[in-house]
Structure 1
Amino acid sequence: MTFIIRFLVVICSLGFALLLQNYRLLSRSLPAPELNTREYWGPGSGDNYKEDTTVKPFDIKACPELIDDLKTQLSRPLKLHVPLEGIGFQYGFNSKELQNVVTYWRETYLQKWNENEANLKQFPHFETQIQGLRLHFIHVEPKLAEGKKVLPLLLLHGWPGSVREFYNLIPLLTSPNPKSEYVFEVIAPSLPGFGWSQAASKVGFGTAQIAVVMRNLMLRIGHEQFLVHGGDWGSIIGSSMAALYPQNVLAYHSNMCIAVNPLALITKAMRALFPNFFLNAEQRDFFRTFSEENSYILEETGYLHLQATKPDTIGAALTDNPIGLAAYILEKFSTWTNPAYKNLTDGGLTKQYTMDALLDNVMIYYITNSIATSQRIYAEAWSSTQIDLDRVHIKIPAGCARFKLDLMHASDGELQYKFKNLIQSTFFKDCGHFPALEVPKILYEDFIAFVKKAAL
């Protein structure tokens, strides 16, 4: 018996030592990789490529013939299926509501297209060429006020969003506020392959590579140091910039903080199984249980698997198909704003947004023919060749704003393995995945509170 006890003690001691050793290895920060800041992503060979470094005003005006053709397409008789009785958006976009959207799009939105296009042009638009790609970006100088410090800010959107998400946030950021000693110079690019920015022509253009391009864009504009805010893919690209270029990124703020390194994933699983041990009473309301998390993943991430594996197939189905494109994009603005909206026959689309704002976003994808190229970011991000930056610690000031109805959340316990200087962590009981569009004032106030804590 004494031998067995000694044997078990030895085995347990070895197991604990192995666990401790692995924890030490996994908790260490890996060195940030050195990526080629001049890598060519344009078409053909880059051997004779000479970059045009000028920054030029860019006219986003849509071709009149394209608008006329869109009106023609939307005027054709709709051959839609009949929705199941008693169903809202549970099976996807309700066809009766889709008929309403098409009618409004054709008879109201496009009838005032000149006005809507002028609204899209309200901010200065520019273009420049970086690493073989023509990049579009909005650049708004702040309204200067005495005693205010000006900080450059890079705003990064995601999918199926666009720069249109930031239109109500930009005026808040660029106008002096008595509550803040800062005012911001805003740069909001269309991500490569989205909207008016050219898509990469080469395989391997993932979030780390986009981070390089975004940093080069800021240097091109003249900013060696700057702030970054991102949501959705913008959050991943922004955190990649913070990991790769801490000398350039002053601070990082996000409304969708993510950490997927091994220790964070283990903590996430333990938090889902035993929430009472990891979350306080207020926070528990924000996080799904283990079974709820699995159910949600099965129900809501079919699009992700499709776009991560065959983006060009679904892209071909949506290209030059305005009604299908609107259904595919707007369904996400329904469910991702509030999961309960799927029980409504109209998807709750205009509960938080105007239909004009939603159609502005759809139009950006349609007039630029960018739906297929925008979806490739999923395939590149999940490629086995993609660079893993999740174990590169981010030591600059970071802030995380969580909105209760968003797709997912990470607890501070998970984020600690990636963000080593998380100076602000906030929880908001309203809003979903698109806070810049839905609650711009709340997002702005969270951001300026973060910048104040960062003491830049």
Structure 2
Amino acid sequence: MWLEILLASVLGLAVYWFASRDKEETLPLGDGWWGPGARPTAPEDESIRPFKVETSDEEINDLHRRIEKARLTPPLEDSRFHYGFNAHYLQKVLAYWRDGFDWKKQVAVLNRYPHFKTRIEGLDIHFIHVKPPRLPAGRSAKPLLMVHGWPGCFFEFYNVIPLLTDPKAHGLGGEHVFEVVCPSIPGYGFSEAASKKGLNSVATARIFYKLMLRLGFREFYAQGGDWGSLICTNIAQLAPSHVKGLHLNMAFVLRGFHVLTLLLGPRFRRLFGYTERDVELMYPLREKMFHSLLRESGYMHIQCTKPDTVGCALNDSPVGLAAYILEKFSTWTNSDFRDLEDGGLERKFSLDSLLTVIMIYWTTGTITSSQRFYKENMGRSFLSEPHERMKVQVPTGFAAFPSELLHVPERWVKSKYPKLVSYSYMPRGGHFAAFEEPELLARDLGKFVGRVEGP
């Protein structure tokens, strides 16, 4: 017993030491060129061009032919989603995709918001820019950058945007009205992919920071989950004076001293700053942390090492692409969905919405370039980059959704984001927060901004 107390004390002091180092550091802004060939000597065209999503009968007919030729392997009896995407349910998805899904109609849905492109560091960067339809007298809109992750895209934010740009009309009050900018990460969807190695989250953060400046925003809020949380974090590390606040629904803070506290967490909960809710979400440790990571991280190893190999198959087969991506929308929404024959996909999403995400990857041919983002960020020097050790010195809010892949306690978040002003245990929801629970996310974002700006 005394040995355990001594060990816990040492670990507690180590946690305190790490958490108390609040160095005011920033990342060097730098510059880059990601287009083909050498950087031209002429100044880059900084114009902002309107863009529309388009399709054609030829594109749709080619898709249908490929779906019709699909070769599926029958699933094992009673395997549900434990072996991956269940082929019986996949047949239902394919039948709807072929005979019920209206891509032209969904293209019109995508064009509901204004799309643009602009050239930054040699790449055509796509984004949507949505302004409030109305503003209360004497109020101005708050600029908000929202960044997606993998295997998502800008479309994830379509249901939360009206709650942010016109909150009063949706019963959320009119105190905080946002002007929303949602870019596509380079190599995702309609943003051009890099021609050179090395375009990681920091380079992307610099590109999006330049985008916001180009749009005339000297100060803005940033929000993200998955890769979006890391990119927005990097923006705050690059240009903290320009980021009024940072709101996240995922945080990359799993470092050594946190892992050590996990082992004694239930017994010394208060010493390590764990709440009862933290313990519920993290324990039993073997199942909720280690087994969960092993089950859900196979794709990551592939994409961190050889993304182009699997990319060849996925970029050639819409059926394979759909199974690969939609399986994540099942288990990352709720791990218990593995126990269902249909993966629980239609409990949170419509097939129209899910297939729209797939179509954005399919029609742009960007699955391989999107997967390369893993290799650029994690395939070389994982957990050794300067930004991974650097604290974030801007006001931060965090929404902890209970079905996220890994729960991050408030103490952990605060160790990297010492100016944490809002931490919320969300009542439901998983990895794709804006897509799954737009109202919960919008309300928490409004609460966070209220605390940043005060009465």
Q: TM-score surpassing 0.5? A: yes
Shift of the alpha carbon at 1:347?
Answer: 0.6
Closer/same/farther in 2, CA of residues 270 and 188 from structure 1, 3 Å limit: farther
**Residue of structure 2 equivalent to 1:91:** 83
**Residue of structure 1 equivalent to 2:72:** 80
Amino acid at match of 2:281: F
Q: Distance in 2 between matches of 1:260 and 1:202?
A: 29
- Residue 214 of structure 2 corresponds to residue 224 of structure 1: no
Residue deviations 1:313-353, cap 9 Å, x none? 11111012100000000000000111111111111110111
- Which of 1 and 2 has greater Rg? 1
Closer/same/farther in 2, CA of residues 50 and 246 from structure 1, 3 Å limit: same
Contact 1:88 1:343 in 2 (8 A): yes
Q: Distance in 1 between matches of 2:233 and 2:137?
A: 32
1:284 to 279, 289, 292: 279
Q: Which stretch shows the higher mean deviation, 432-441 or 387-396? A: 387-396
- What's the C-alpha RMSD, in Å, of the aligned pairs? 2.3
Please give the residue correspondences for 1:176-191 in structure 2 after superposition, counting only pairs within 5 Å: 176-177=167-168, 179-191=173-185
**Residue of structure 2 equivalent to 1:53:** 46
Contact 2:201 2:230 in 1 (8 A): yes
**Residue of structure 2 equivalent to 1:4:** none
1:305 to 301, 305, 315: 301
- Residue 320 of structure 2 corresponds to residue 320 of structure 1: no
Residue deviations 1:206-227, cap 9 Å, x none? 1111111110110111111100
Contact 1:168 1:436 in 2 (8 A): yes
- Residue 357 of structure 2 corresponds to residue 361 of structure 1: yes
Q: Distance in 1 between matches of 2:141 and 2:425?
A: 28
| Runs of 5+ consecutive residues of structure 2 not aligned to the other structure | 1-5
Q: Distance in 2 between matches of 1:272 and 1:147?
A: 51
Closer/same/farther in 2, CA of residues 318 and 49 from structure 1, 3 Å limit: farther
Residue deviations 1:109-145, cap 9 Å, x none? 0xx3221110111100000000001000000111222
Closer/same/farther in 2, CA of residues 295 and 261 from structure 1, 3 Å limit: closer
Q: Distance in 2 between matches of 1:326 and 1:75?
A: 14
Q: Distance in 2 between matches of 1:268 and 1:61?
A: 50
Closer/same/farther in 2, CA of residues 146 and 289 from structure 1, 3 Å limit: same
Closer/same/farther in 2, CA of residues 390 and 272 from structure 1, 3 Å limit: farther
Q: Which stretch shows the higher mean deviation, 20-29 or 353-362? A: 20-29
Closer/same/farther in 2, CA of residues 24 and 439 from structure 1, 3 Å limit: closer
Q: Distance in 1 between matches of 2:310 and 2:304?
A: 11
Q: Distance in 1 between matches of 2:63 and 2:441?
A: 35
Q: Distance in 2 between matches of 1:20 and 1:106?
A: 57
- Residue 161 of structure 2 corresponds to residue 170 of structure 1: yes
**Residue of structure 1 equivalent to 2:96:** 104
SS at match of 1:149: coil
**Residue of structure 2 equivalent to 1:437:** 435
Q: TM-score, normalised by structure 1?
A: 0.90
**Residue of structure 2 equivalent to 1:340:** 336
SS at match of 2:322: helix
**Residue of structure 2 equivalent to 1:156:** 147
1:132 to 122, 143, 165: 122
Closer/same/farther in 2, CA of residues 104 and 324 from structure 1, 3 Å limit: same
Q: Distance in 1 between matches of 2:327 and 2:205?
A: 28
Q: Distance in 1 between matches of 2:15 and 2:153?
A: 44
Contact 1:41 1:200 in 2 (8 A): yes
Q: Distance in 2 between matches of 1:27 and 1:257?
A: 19
Closer/same/farther in 2, CA of residues 20 and 313 from structure 1, 3 Å limit: closer
Identity of aligned residues (%): 40
Residue deviations 1:3-48, cap 9 Å, x none? xxxxxxxxx9xxx8xx8799479935373231313x1111111143
Closer/same/farther in 2, CA of residues 21 and 395 from structure 1, 3 Å limit: closer
2:393 to 392, 395, 403: 395
Residue deviations 1:277-310, cap 9 Å, x none? 5422233222244322111111111001111111
Closer/same/farther in 2, CA of residues 307 and 259 from structure 1, 3 Å limit: same
**Residue of structure 1 equivalent to 2:3:** none
SS at match of 2:188: coil
Q: Distance in 1 between matches of 2:18 and 2:76?
A: 55
SS at match of 1:103: helix
Q: Distance in 2 between matches of 1:249 and 1:240?
A: 11
Amino acid at match of 1:324: G
SS at match of 1:451: helix
**Residue of structure 2 equivalent to 1:199:** 193
| Runs of 5+ consecutive residues of structure 1 not aligned to the other structure | 1-11
Amino acid at match of 1:172: L
Contact 2:193 2:369 in 1 (8 A): yes
Q: Which stretch shows the higher mean deviation, 327-336 or 408-417? A: 408-417
SS at match of 1:401: strand
Closer/same/farther in 2, CA of residues 226 and 86 from structure 1, 3 Å limit: same
Q: Distance in 2 between matches of 1:210 and 1:117?
A: 26
Contact 1:43 1:202 in 2 (8 A): yes
SS at match of 1:243: helix
